[in-house]
Amino acid sequence: MKVEKLTKPFNVVIDNIASDKSISHRCAMFSLLSDEPSHIKNFLTAEDTINTLSIVEQLGASIERNGGDVTITPTGELKEPADVLDCGNSGTAMRLFCGFLSSIDGAFVLVGDRYLHARPMKRVADPLRSIGAQIDGREKGNKAPLFIRGGKLKAFKYVSPVDSAQVKSAMILAALRADGVSKYKESELTRDHTERMLKGMGATLTTNEEGFIEITPLSKPLKPLEMTVPTDPSSAFFFAVAAAITPNSSVRIKNVTLNPTRIEAYQVLKRMGAEVNFIEKENIYEPIGDIEVKYNQLNGVVVEDNISWLIDELPALSIAMSLAKGNSKVSNAEELRVKESDRIASVVNNLKMCGVKYTEYPDGYEIIGGTMSQATIDSHGDHRIAMSFAIAGLHCGMHIEDTACIQTSFPNFTDILNSLS
């Protein structure tokens, strides 16, 4: 992909950014917890989420699709699939299905692409094994393909050593069929789509005075989902950064989830000096509204808190940091090392190619802001690296190698990018 430097500002309203991937995955999966049809509008039609729909179908549901409108009809007891369950590039799908399938009678094999097979699964498999789940895989159960033999699970009281929405969600899904009330605690609140959606469907999840989420096993099927999936704030953030780094430019992004655990990156951009406004319009399962971002001179910033709330946006934030006045530092972000690529290494190595000075740390990096230059970028097959440096290309021009990965989360990214010029 070759991105040309912009020659004029842009002031646009964008209403066709990809639907939220996290919510789309969960809509497909959670529909299996009901015995009535779920109706989902604006479902993300990207490779990752279509793979999740295919898995749901393999598990026995009937699926009708009309573009982004999806109806999922469960057909009684979940069935043992005749083939492997392909999660593609999605760590979310693989980790959540680990929890979901661990309590279902049958044998299940979760596979993915070569990038997903390189990612660690021990962090979710180990706590599930501790409550009776039978999960095995390569490298002593740490890497996919993963083999799951579903069965009875024990209720648990678990304090997670990692703040991960994927681990939390897997444990909550397992707890829904455990033999008693389970308790889960994290030190820092992570994305809470799972809790919001399950409670909206009728599951009993409460938080006690000690900060544990208490999950009561299901005694009957949940209510079906009736939901319009909002715009993905992580995908939208690329164009927020584009406006923030392009003089005299602005963007209004329509119908975004304004869940506080998902808009932290926008708050950081605001701290850096960009003009950022949130306009809430409704609240069904999730608060939803528009986000406005306008250019202003950016200044360096320190990012060390609520890291799990902006972990996916850090590559794009690194572009804003590189063009800000002064130094910026990211800490406590070692989770970046185990994403689709080692995103700390991917970010700093590509920034180096663009002439940006930096210091790399085990848990983050420090960037000396000021300028970026055109370069040839290696995405390492990571969609967020590819899209982040495409946005940088609006400032200085850029050539990005291996951009097919963008299709996993944001199929029309290039169309929107081209519309800005």
Phi, psi for residue 368 in degrees, rounded to 5: -90, 110
Phi, psi for residue 285 in degrees, rounded to 5: 65, -50
DSSP letter string, 181-228: -EEEE-SS----HHHHHHHHTT--EEE-TTSPEEEPPPSSPBPPPEEE
Output the six-digit token pair for 163.
């703040």
The residue behind tokens 């369950």 is 85
The residue behind tokens 């409108």 is 69
Q: Which element (helix H / strand E) includes 96?
A: helix 91-101
CA distance 365 to 14: 32
Q: Which of 306, 228, 295, 302 is nearest to 263 (CA)?
A: 306
Q: What is the DSSP letter of 4?
A: P
Q: Which of 272, 338, 358 is nearest to 347 (CA)?
A: 358
Buried b (16+ CB within 10 A) or exposed e, 215-231: bbbbeeebebbebbbbb
Residue 59 C-alpha from the chain's centroid:
23
Q: What is the DSSP letter of 406?
A: G
Q: Which residues belong to the annotated binding site?
A: 21-22, 26, 91, 119, 164, 166, 312, 339, 343, 384
Q: Which residues belong to the annotated binding site for phosphoenolpyruvate?
A: 21, 91, 119, 166, 343, 384
Q: Which residues belong to the annotated binding site for 3-phosphoshikimate?
A: 21-22, 26, 164, 166, 312, 339
CA distance 209 to 375: 53
Active site residues: 312
Q: Which of 313, 309, 325 is nearest to 391 (CA)?
A: 313
Residue 164 C-alpha from the chain's centroid:
11
